[in-house]
Chain A
Amino acid sequence: MEDRSFIIVDDRELDCFVATKTIRQLGEKGSISTFVHPHKALEYISKSEAGGLEQTILLLDIIMPIMNGFQFVAEFNKLPEHIRNSYYVIAITSSMNKKYINMVNEFETIKGMIEKPITTAKFRDLLSNIGLSAPNSVKA
């Protein structure tokens, strides 16, 4: 099986960086693309060759200027089904407030939610919750 790849959409550069490093520390070998502009990520996704077996995990910040995570998902949902099916969308947020949790639950596309800061432990738990497991299953 091929290595799964990652897309990180977050308007904060540091958070993109931290997420990338955290994913690597879990032993993931696939490609990781980061976007501070959500619309650029959408463009990238819509042009991507999809439909392969490989899964892409999309980490999506909820509160961003211009286009927030929910607006992003609304646009994402307009993409053809075969493209959408190869993504696992995970929301990331700096606040686990009720309002966001409720909104996240309304979107079928969003499969999970992580509170910042992203740590290897949180990320590993999330992957196993959605039925995926991290390559390094031993605790670092």
Chain B
Amino acid sequence: MFENAPIIKSTKEFTATRNACKLCAPLGASVAFKGIRGCVPIIHGSQGCATYIRRYLISHFKEPVDIASSNFTEEATVFGGGANCDRAITNVIGQYNPEVVALTTTCLSETIGDDVKMYIHDYKKNSELKDLPAFVTASTPSYQGSHMDGFHEAVGAAIKAFAKGGEKGTHINIFPGFVSTEDLRQLKYLLSDFGIEFVMLPDYSETLDNPIWNTYKRIPEGGTPVSAIETCGRAAASIEFGTILNSGALSGRVKNTKLSATGAEYLEKEFEVKNYRMPLPIGVKNTDRFFNVLEEISGKEMPIRYLTERGRLIDSYADGHKYIFGKKAVVYGEEDFVVAMTTFLDEIGVEVVLAATGGESGNLEDQIRANCPERGEQILAKNMFDYEKIREWCQENKPDLLVGNSKAYYIARELDIPIVRCGFPIHDRIGGQRIKHLGYAGTQDLFDQVVNTMIQYKQDHSPVGYKYM
């Protein structure tokens, strides 16, 4: 009944992006700000920005996601959004009584040159309220980079706004990047098991994945308190997941070609907090790297529980290796996620043939070469790709497996390629926010899923319904 989209043989150069494999910066910033305790984000722009972003996040997290809007009108566009900004702050304070109000800009407010920092300054000066919340603002025009650039911009902004120096403590900072709420919880358990005191930013493990409520909570529980962020400047070290981070925001810049520092970079420069930057700990190699750093920082040994997890994971690698060896996979999504997933698939014998992202850093290829030294040369790594380019590439090259978020499902369906759903967003299944990716435990889940997906594909396409693998 339905026609499929046209088959385009030669991948021609489009000036249009077709089914973007990225989102805009204010989305990432909103997620990051949701990870601060008592924080209500306000998107300074048109009503649609906040509503679309909420809808997109709600479909993944299956949670109420309250993000306010300063609701630009034509008047605000012509004369500046200061009055709207003020009213939005006042109304948010009145309704939510937040600990923190976080403003993120949009393409509109940035283009007309709104100075949100000044608005906040004036608001504080003129307000008659006694206990004003804390304020933080991130500059996130959607014409600069993708949602990941917005995410890291917001994390950096929170650190710059709140972190203070002073006598060094023994705690560490952990900057996990945009991972699942389950990943955040796993990281917290892991660090606690290690006996390491830490501040994690952001921490939306509860705010975007709350248990059932008796009464509606205007601001969900959880998140990193501002008081904890203040101590980041006195931490013994920072661990920052991701090696590409916000460098996509440089793409297409005209006015300002300086890259904002990430939270960890800023702390290192400003307060001499040593930064351990590393890829997301997915796979044995990258998780080992993470544990080595934890051992180094804490002077403690890996708790026995994780040693056993690691052993069990490698044991399963043996059990499952044959079903996936040499299978050709396409990995797509956010840049740091793609690098980590590719590294993991590489270590288990899956041949990543295309690693694609809508991100714009231009560093994806380098990072993949660096992390997959043996096979890296053969992996086609593509920045600024979109789903239609991925689809056309798959049509021609017929990979065995797609690994990434749910948005490529239409490609999987059309071309009959199995798909392992992971990363963000997962819009067509429940539990996307609870997918584990990180550490030995996360890798175990991913490994089982990759192997079982290949087994199921074979089983489904076999004339014999075999009962043993």
A and B from one assembly?
no
